[in-house]
Amino acid sequence: MNFEYSKKSIELQQKLTTFIEQHIVPVEEDYIAFHADKNNMWLRFPEIEILKQKAKEAGLWNLFLPKEYGALSPGLSNLEYAPLAEIMGKKIWISEIFNCAAPDTGNMEVLARYGNDVQKEQWLTPLMNGEIRSAFLMTEPDVASSDATNIQTSIELDGDEYVINGRKWWSSGAMDPHCKLAIVMGKTDVTKSRHQQQSMILVPMDTPGLEIIRPLSVFGFYDSPEGHAEIQLTNVRVPIQNLILGEGRGFEIAQGRLGPGRIHHCMRLVGMAQYALEVMSQRTLERETFGKKFYEYSSIRHEIATSQCEIEQARLLTLSAADKMDKLGNKEAKDIIAMIKIVAPNMALNVIDRAMQILGGKGVGPDTYLPHYFAIARMLRLADGPDEVHMYQLGKSCIKKYGNN
């Protein structure tokens, strides 16, 4: 691949960086203070909608949707969008301002690629306009959901409606007061082959029988206002028209949904790690022990140098994956997509841990993003498939490719 960014991508990177400095940095402390106040749990920061409108006016809107989606897309490839995701990752909460936040991005891709005209008009349009938010309900508490064929939620046809029963958890985005839609994965026919039992269906969040049991925290972080919810679905009835693509197509949709999303996650992780590198580098200029500045210690220089190497390795690997997706498609890029999903979260954990060590007490307290980013990076070793699943599949592919040589 050509490791130089396109002119369009470079211009957008500069534009995005300028927007962040001019419009987001001035309200950043207010945002942090707002969500640090427990009275504001599950409330939205008032300035968010104003910032979203400014982002629209600046042409920094829906940047994530690849150009293969035609008129819906701003015309970027995965490779061109990747560095923009990295920039957003340095302040992880800002992705929504540009309508580039998960799980909405994945849900919008599902609707854009697989939804019919009615579904697009009802749900994709308001999502792309930033008028509503959404959740993705796949993971379940009673089974190992890393194997999607295990899921137990039932989607049964009853006349002109589907009836849904099951329990989901780690349903990210479901706590947001603007969350109006859930895409639910369940089984429509258990007699079919393993990968044709699952289907996906659109469920409005206010449908009778959909009950939020509790919010879930990640190492104490509730990620308000989006949050992560445990949800009970009891005799939830939706029209037959809410089924996406058709019965038995859920596994196919899930695979199509996860490819680009992993690029986004991994580049945001690179952004988090880059933030950690910059914070620890700055700290070495500010602190001294035993008569020496931190930066004078070779051990600290080694930690920073190692971090820079690991970040650049993960960055280039992820860019290579994005390039391969653009040129050959998700299926042909599956091995390198697995690689980045293994490498990026572990890299970020290592770099953030070094930063916390160099910052000392400040590194584990509320005055930097480091603790929150550590929690996110650790969670992302599980989200969108745990390391073990990716290693299993990647190892199988490598053996098939090289074993007979």
User: Is 216 contained in some domain?
Assistant: yes
Span of 125-139, 211-225, 320-334 with lowest mean pLDDT: 320-334
| Percent of the chain predicted with pLDDT > 70 | 99
Q: How far apart are CA 367 and CA 365, in angstroms?
A: 6
Does 290 have pLDDT greater than 70?
yes
Instruction: Decide if 62 contacts 129 (C-beta within 8 A).
Output: no
Per-residue pLDDT tens for 185-201?
999 999 999 999 999 99
Question: Which residue among 194, 223, 248 closes a domain?
Answer: 248
How many other CB atoms sit within 10 Å of the CB of residue 100? 24
For residue 405, pLDDT over 70 is answered with no
Residue 271 is which amino acid? Answer: G
Mean pLDDT, the chain, rounded, equals: 96
Question: Which pLDDT band holds residue 176 (cuts at 50, 70, 90)?
Answer: very high
Structural domain tally of the chain?
3
Residue 208 near residue 237, CB atoms below 8 Å: yes
Q: How far apart are the first and last CA of the chain?
A: 26
Buried b (16+ CB within 10 A) or exposed e, 5-25: beeebeebbeebeebbeebbe
Same domain for 111 and 18: yes
The answer for residues whose C-beta is within 8 angstroms of residue 236's C-beta and 6 or more apart is 163, 164, 165, 203, 207, 208, 209, 210
User: Residue 68: pLDDT band by 50, 70, 90 thresholds?
Assistant: confident
For residues 318 and 340, what is the distance between their CA atoms, to the nearest angstrom? 6
Domain end call among 214, 248, 282: 248
Q: Is residue 284 part of a domain?
A: yes
At 93 the pLDDT is 96
CA–chain centroid gap for 152, Å, is 24
DSSP 165-181: EEEEEEEETTTSTTEEE
The DSSP annotation for 214-245 comes to EE--BTTB--TTT-EEEEEEEEEEEEGGGBSS
How far are the Cα atoms of 35, 125, 136, 141, 359 from residue 221, in angstroms, in the given order?
11, 31, 20, 19, 21
In angstroms, rounded to a whole number, what is the distance separating the alpha carbons of residues 125 and 107?
Answer: 12
Lowest mean pLDDT among 180-194, 253-267, 355-369: 253-267
pLDDT attached to residue 94: 98
pLDDT of residue 4 exceeding 90: no
Q: pLDDT: is 260 or 223 the higher one? A: 223
| pLDDT at 259 (0 to 100) | 72
Quote the tokens at residue 69. Answer: 């989606």
Residues 90 and 141 in one domain: no
User: Is residue 3 over pLDDT 70?
Assistant: no
**pLDDT at res. 70:** 86
Q: Are residues 255 and 366 in the same domain?
A: yes
pLDDT band, residue 2 (cuts 50/70/90): low
The reply to whether 217 and 327 lie within a common domain is no
> Do 123 and 49 have their domain in common?
yes
Confidence of residue 378 (pLDDT cuts 50, 70, 90): very high
C-alpha to C-alpha distances, 115 to 94, 200, 235, 245, 250, nearest whole angstrom? 28, 11, 24, 7, 12
Q: What is the pTM of this model?
A: 0.96
Residue 260's pLDDT is 82
Strand partners, 155: 164
112 and 161: one domain? no
CATH number, domain at 389? 1.20.140.10
> Going by DSSP bridges, is the β-strand pair 133-137/179-187 parallel, antiparallel, or unpaired?
parallel
The tens digit of pLDDT for each residue in 22-59 reads 999 999 999 999 999 999 999 999 999 999 999 999 99
Residue 234 shares a structural domain with residue 305: no
Let me know if residue 1 belongs to a domain: no
Per-residue pLDDT of 89-129, as tens digits, reads 999 999 999 999 999 999 999 999 999 999 999 999 999 99
Chosen domain end from 216, 248, 280: 248
What tokens appear for 79 in the block? 């490779």
pLDDT in tens, 328-344: 998 899 999 999 999 99
pLDDT of residue 352: 98
